[in-house]
Structure 1
Amino acid sequence: MTLPATRRTVLLATGGAAAALTAGCSDYGDNNGSSSEKSSATSAAGQLAKTTDIPVGGGKIFADQKVVVTQPAKDDFKAFSAICTHMGCIVNKVADGTIDCPCHGSKYHIADGSVAGGPAPKPLPAKQIAVEGGAIKLT
């Protein structure tokens, strides 16, 4: 005997399907093993990273904090929002002098966050960091 679907069962079923689809897309475009790294942990005392964690000419994405830290030249550290200005996706890669978004191909320059390509309408907003004693902290 089949019971008629109630509004509650339909909502639960469609909500579960949406959650499964969202989870399946969460790693879209991940580039494991690339020159960029993702990190979701902030270490003790508010430290985001060690300066040695950020490669010269590259960067590192901190997805939980929604920030990307770059080092365009030795000892020159920059930080930007990791939220793409096109559709709000989180950028997923720092390589070849750009910060890249997997959703629609927007690219930003690591030195100033300006648009290097794609549909992004404006640069990544800068974030304030402090570099002290080999540690990088969000301020």
Structure 2
Amino acid sequence: MLVDRRTVLLCGLAAALSACGEPAPRKTGGAGTARPGDRVVAVSQVPSGSGLLVDMPGNAQLLVVQSRSGEFRAFNPSCPHVGSFVNPPAGGAITCPLHGSTFDPSTGEVRKGPATSGLAEVALVRSGDDLVLG
């Protein structure tokens, strides 16, 4: 049986699309559906002088930072300029990879635009070896 080129291309495209499935939903910044007292991350996982993006319930993420030894803060990682997620601190600054805004890792305040406001802080408290929402 001979199959024409159009049939092969259409079948290949249909197979590729069905294999891919639905695109993953874009993560949002913040605590998602977590509530005060919910665990965010173990203290030992947050590097001193830096931080990390932590997955939260409800397809959300927080940026948890330890800018100085033992001082922890959490921020919504959405840059106030256009909403792109910022990177964890490096070289003493939190940087947005999209347009280059920089933020203070201790306070979330904007250091350099185009963002005109700082990162939104999310209340965080230490509970033993864990950091939990405040």
Report the TM-score range of the alignment, normalised by the length of the smaller protein.
0.5 to 0.7
Aligned-partner Cα distance in 2 for 1:88–1:66: 13
Aligned-partner Cα distance in 1 for 2:76–2:38: 17
- Please tell me whether the aligned partners of residues 80 and 127 of structure 1 are also in contact (alpha carbons under 8 angstroms): yes
Gaps of 5+ in 2: 1-16, 18-22, 27-33
* Per-residue deviation, 1:130: 1.6
Aligned-partner Cα distance in 2 for 1:74–1:92: 20
| Corresponding position of 1:53 | 45
Out of 107, 110, 134, which is 2:105 matched to? Answer: 110
Q: Which has the larger radius of gyration?
A: 2
Aligned-partner Cα distance in 2 for 1:61–1:117: 21
* Per-residue deviation, 1:114: 0.8
| Corresponding position of 1:126 | 121
Q: Under a length normalisation based on structure 2, what TM-score does the superposition of the two structures give? A: 0.65
**RMSD across aligned positions (CA):** 2.4
Aligned-partner Cα distance in 1 for 2:88–2:129: 23
Q: Under a length normalisation based on structure 1, what TM-score does the superposition of the two structures give? A: 0.63
- SS of the residue aligned with 2:44? helix
Structure 1 stretches of at least 4 aligned residues deviating more than 6 Å after TM superposition: none
Aligned-partner Cα distance in 1 for 2:60–2:132: 11
Q: Is 1:83 the equivalent of 2:78?
A: yes
Aligned-partner Cα distance in 2 for 1:66–1:121: 22
Query: What are the residue-to-residue correspondences of 1:1-139 with 2, within 5 Å?
Result: 46-62=38-54, 64-139=59-134
